[in-house]
Structure 1
Amino acid sequence: MSGSNPFDPKLFTAEAISPETKGINDFIVGAMKDLPEWWEIGVGTFREQRARGEGAFPLAPKSPLAREIAIDGKAGNKVTLRVVAPENPSGVYLHIHGGGWVLGGADQQDPLLERIAKNANLACVSVEYRLAPEHPYPAGPDDCEAAAIWLAKNAKTEFGTDKLTIGGESAGAHLSAVTLIRMRDKHGFTGFAGANLVFGAFDMSMTPSQRAFGNERLILRTLDIEKFGDAFLPPEIDRRDPDVSPLYARLHDMPPALFSIGTRDALLDDSLFMHARWIAAGNEAELAVFPGGAHGFVAFPGDLAAAANKRADDFLKRVTAG
């Protein structure tokens, strides 16, 4: 689906979009057409509706394999880690969920964690980080940093392996990049073997594709990006601070990364730009472009999601091999 050349212009044309993918996108737009806005009905109400599977995203069943660990965060805060692990894992995947820093939760990721645990033989550890607007920046990044510090110290004892990977979707990809940079700069730790960064938001000052996407309700509109950013970031924060927008960070000594993005995603530029900067800083990186993929497309059934998820599983398995 991604093609041997991710910069092949044909991948970005309407003709490259399969009828199945177009049908999925049409379904998403229809399912979201009358959905209330979270900032109008209240974020708590919206979270409850989403947890019940209302809206466009499929309901994620809870895994009987999941367990939770409570660790110490900053300033006495406790952080919950949700774990789905195979026997004798070959590595650990620190997963950070998406949701615009406002929505989602670790306990809504179980099917994803089960898939990666099975296909890549990794112990999957998803972070229940604090959400905005109740807990704006830097609360969420601080919790993800605490989880990474804990794994760097305890993965071998807890899971029998200290081979670490990291990744997430959307805001989770953003927080993964921020965590990698914090671990390098604040803790001198560059021990992650790979980063799986799926349709991430890497520039909080808004890339051209974010600004130009418009109002089509295909999961993520320009307005949604603005509302999420305003909820997450206090007004005095510089939106190009590298701790806020990792696109502007020094990116030396980063692990091999896979950037996955659909061509119908408002965050398209974020992955294109970040992939280029990752390589320019001397790191290994792959770019997987999926024609017609909307924001969040990996959560919907179909060939496009299957191809993207297999590419991610294969990447994680490869970087933790040996």
Structure 2
Amino acid sequence: MDPKTSTTSDASPMYPRPVSATSKAWYYFIVYTRRVLLKLALPILKRFPGMLYPGVKPTFTKSYPCHPNLTHRFFYPKSYNASDPALPLYIDIHGGGFVFFAAQVDDKFCSNLANNNNILVVSLEYSLAPSSPFPVALHEAADVITSILDDDSLPFDRSKIAVGGFSAGASLALTVSQLPNIKKILRGVVAFYPVIDWTRNVQDQLASKPKGCGPDSLEARMPLFEYCYIPAGQDMKDPLVSPGFATRDALPSKVCLIGCEHDLLCRDAEVMAQRLAKVETEDGASAWEHDGIKWAKIVGQVHAFDFLPFPTGEVKKIRQERAKQMYDDVVDWLFREVYI
């Protein structure tokens, strides 16, 4: 098969790749060691300006009875007044390979989205693998979204609802939006550099990248994420695992897919966008819209470039400009196609 393509035509199941006992032990060591280090580093990082956005906080946090162990973050526009009309709702799902991080990492994005665009933003928490593999996070997200919709204390317009996410969170946004009880209430879904197709070999994904764009941080991590998130015996062609196998009718009417040119996941997302829209474009096309589908390729950027720490000089300037343009384009699309 051409390494620049992925397919949904073969219906035969594909299961997670075998992992040796040594690799399993190494994966667990990496996951839990990194979690401990992140927990220890958090109080220190908060002391430095620009790290973890210490001045950015949600309006409030809240848990729901369906999953009382999960605390979600709610961002009202600072200008909001109780007498104002109901707000559009954007539900955000954080990334981290289904294994790392928490809703807090998206605070700056959520705060800016709410304050700059008069949107109510809710940042969802979910349980992490490997202790909570698929489909735990998927069902938690569905339960919490249902609870949000039933929450009469929240001032949002029930006809203007979108869900979105980053990386693993983008994959969850694309999968939870396929569940019938969630799909029927959503107007659109936004997926920033999502995990689209778990059946793809990492080496084939690397081969789909432009030549000379350098190493990819996901190359070593994707096997770890696969082992932690996808249980043995799970068909990886299930569209609730690999949303690239979802049919057009299974998704909301409006879908926005965004990839980063130097990301091994980019081509999979582009192929999905082309398939959903039933269009063929040149590989170099960086942006287009057709029949409710929006595709955007962030040229010259790597996976999660808008969250990478410690940028300096010209690199920092370019990243900030590209991130702002990416977010502005998504907001423009939301108000043209979803919040209408």
Q: In structure 2, do the counterparts of structure 1 residues 41 and 216 end up closer, same or farther at CA, with 3 Å as the change threshold? A: farther
Considering only aligned residues, what root-mean-square deviation do their CA atoms show, in Å?
A: 3.0
* Structure 1 residues 179-211: Cα deviation after superposition (integer angstroms, max 9, x where no partner): 1001x2xx2742212211100001111267535
Gaps of 5+ in 2: 1-27, 280-289, 309-318
Q: Which residue of 2 aligns with 1:254?
A: 252
For 1:222 and 1:167, the matched residues in 2 are separated by 24
Are residue 161 (structure 1) and residue 157 (structure 2) matched? yes
**Equivalent residues of 2:187, 2:252 under 8 A apart:** no
Q: Which residue of 1 aligns with 2:320?
A: 302
Match of 1:235, SS? coil
Deviating more after overlay: 256-265 vs 93-102: 256-265
Q: Which residue of 2 aligns with 1:143?
A: 140
Identity %: 21
Q: Which residue of 2 aligns with 1:270?
A: 268
**Equivalent residues of 1:101, 1:131 under 8 A apart:** yes
* Equivalent AA in structure 2 for residue 39 of structure 1: I
For 2:270 and 2:149, the matched residues in 1 are separated by 30
Q: In structure 2, do the counterparts of structure 1 residues 217 and 83 end up closer, same or farther at CA, with 3 Å as the change threshold? A: farther
Cα deviation for residue 272 of structure 1 reads: 0.5
**Equivalent residues of 1:82, 1:126 under 8 A apart:** yes
* Equivalent AA in structure 2 for residue 312 of structure 1: V
Cα deviation for residue 279 of structure 1 reads: 1.8
Q: Which residue of 1 aligns with 2:205?
A: 210
Cα deviation for residue 157 of structure 1 reads: 4.2
Which one has the largest radius of gyration?
A: 2
TM-score w.r.t. length of structure 2: 0.72
Q: 1:83 aligns with which of 74, 77, 82?
A: 74
Q: Which residue of 2 aligns with 1:285?
A: 293
* Equivalent AA in structure 2 for residue 210 of structure 1: Q
* Alignment map for 1:1-322 (pairs within 5 Å): 39=30, 42-48=33-39, 51=42, 53=45, 59-62=51-54, 63-73=56-66, 78-86=69-77, 87=80, 88=84, 90-154=87-151, 157-162=153-158, 163-182=160-179, 184=180, 187=181, 189-206=183-200, 210-212=205-207, 218=216, 220-252=217-249, 253-280=251-278, 284-299=292-307, 301-322=319-340
Q: Tell me which of the two structures has the higher relative contact order, counting C-alpha pairs closer than 8 angstroms and 6 or more residues apart.
A: 1
Gaps of 5+ in 1: 1-36
For 1:92 and 1:309, the matched residues in 2 are separated by 16
TM-score w.r.t. length of structure 1: 0.76
Q: In structure 2, do the counterparts of structure 1 residues 270 and 47 end up closer, same or farther at CA, with 3 Å as the change threshold? A: farther
**Equivalent residues of 1:181, 1:251 under 8 A apart:** no
For 2:99 and 2:278, the matched residues in 1 are separated by 32
Q: In structure 2, do the counterparts of structure 1 residues 140 and 41 end up closer, same or farther at CA, with 3 Å as the change threshold? A: closer
The aligned length equals: 277
Cα deviation for residue 234 of structure 1 reads: 1.2
Match of 1:161, SS? strand
For 2:41 and 2:293, the matched residues in 1 are separated by 33
Cα deviation for residue 46 of structure 1 reads: 4.2
